[in-house]
Chain A
Amino acid sequence: MSVIAPNFKLSEFIKSLLDNVFWIVLLLVLIGIPAVMMVLFFMEMPVIDGELLTPFLALTWLADPSRILPVVKAFMATDIFRVMAFPGFGFAALLAAGTIFVERKMLAKLQLRVGPFYCGKFEGILQLMGDGLKLISKEIIIPAKADKPIFWAAPVLFVAAAAAFVAFIPVAPGWVVADVEMGLLGVFAVIGFFPIITILSAWSANSKFPFIGGIRALFQMVSFEIPLILSLLGVVMLTGSLNLSQIAASQSSFPWIVFLPVGAIVFFITMLAELERIPFDLPEAESEIVAGWLTELSGMMYGLVQLGTYLKLYAFAALFVVIFLGGWNGPMVVPPFPAELLEEGIELGPIVAGPFPGLPLFDQAMLNGTLWFVLKTVAVIFFILLPRGVFPRIRVDMLLNLGWTKLIGLAFVNIFIALGLLYAGVLGPGGLQ
Chain B
Amino acid sequence: MVGELAGNYSTVVLMFGFAMAAMAPALVISRMISPRKRSNPVKFLPMECGQVPSGEGRTHFMMQYYPYILMFVVFDVMAIFLYAWGSALLEIPKMATLPMMGFLAIMFGAMAFALYQSGRRRIW
Contact = CB atoms under 8 A, between A and B. Distances in A.
A186 interface: yes
Contacts of B79: 226, 229-230, 233
Given A160-B19, A225-B72, A229-B79, 6 more contacts: A135-B30, A136-B33, A143-B46, A155-B23, A160-B17, A230-B79
A205 B15 contact: no
B15 A156 contact: no
A321 B119 CA distance: 36
Interface in B100-117: 104, 108, 111, 115
Contacts of B47: 143, 207, 209, 290, 295-296
A139 B34 contact: yes
B15 A164 contact: yes
B58 A178 contact: no
A432 B76 CA distance: 33
Interface stretch (A28-36, A94-102, A211-219, A374-382): A211-219
B63 interface: yes
Say what secondary structure dominates the interface of chain A. helix
Contacts, number: 207
A84 B68 contact: no
6 contacts: A139-B34, A163-B19, A164-B13, A181-B8, A215-B61, A240-B88
A145 interface: yes
Nearest to B11: A178
B78 to A, nearest CB: 8
A240 B90 contact: yes
B83 A164 contact: no
Contacts of B2: none
Contact of B18 (A163, A178, A307, A419): A163
Q: Which 10 A-B pairs have the closest CB atoms?
A: A163-B19, A207-B46, A206-B57, A300-B30, A240-B90, A167-B15, A160-B19, A178-B11, A237-B86, A229-B79
A299 B30 contact: yes
Given A163-B15, A164-B15, A142 B44 contact: yes
Interface string A403-415: 0110010001001
Contacts of B9: 178, 180, 186
A69 to B, nearest CB: 25
Contact of A137 (B33, B48, B61, B115): B33
Contact of B11 (A82, A136, A139, A152): A82
A227 to B, nearest CB: 9
Interface residues of A, number: 87
A16 B36 CA distance: 13
B90 A304 contact: no
A400 interface: yes
A27 B37 CA distance: 26
Contacts of B43: 141
A207 B5 CA distance: 43
Interface in A98-153: 135-145, 152
Contacts of A142: 44
Interface string B45-60: 1111100010101110
A242 interface: yes
A136 B32 CA distance: 10
Contacts of A396: 65
Nearest to A204: B58
A301 interface: yes
B75 to A, nearest CB: 5
B80 interface: yes
Nearest to B24: A156
Given A178-B9, A226-B72, A296-B46, A160 B27 contact: no
Contact of B19 (A16, A159, A207): A159
Contact of B76 (A82, A226, A295, A415): A226
A215 B59 CA distance: 12
A166 B97 contact: no
A12 to B, nearest CB: 12
Given A156-B24, A226-B72, A296-B47, A161 B33 contact: no
B94 A423 contact: yes
Contact of A138 (B19, B30, B69, B76): B30
Nearest to A242: B87
Contacts of B63: 215, 219
A278 interface: no
A397 B27 CA distance: 37
B89 A161 contact: no
A88 B59 CA distance: 40
B57 A419 contact: no
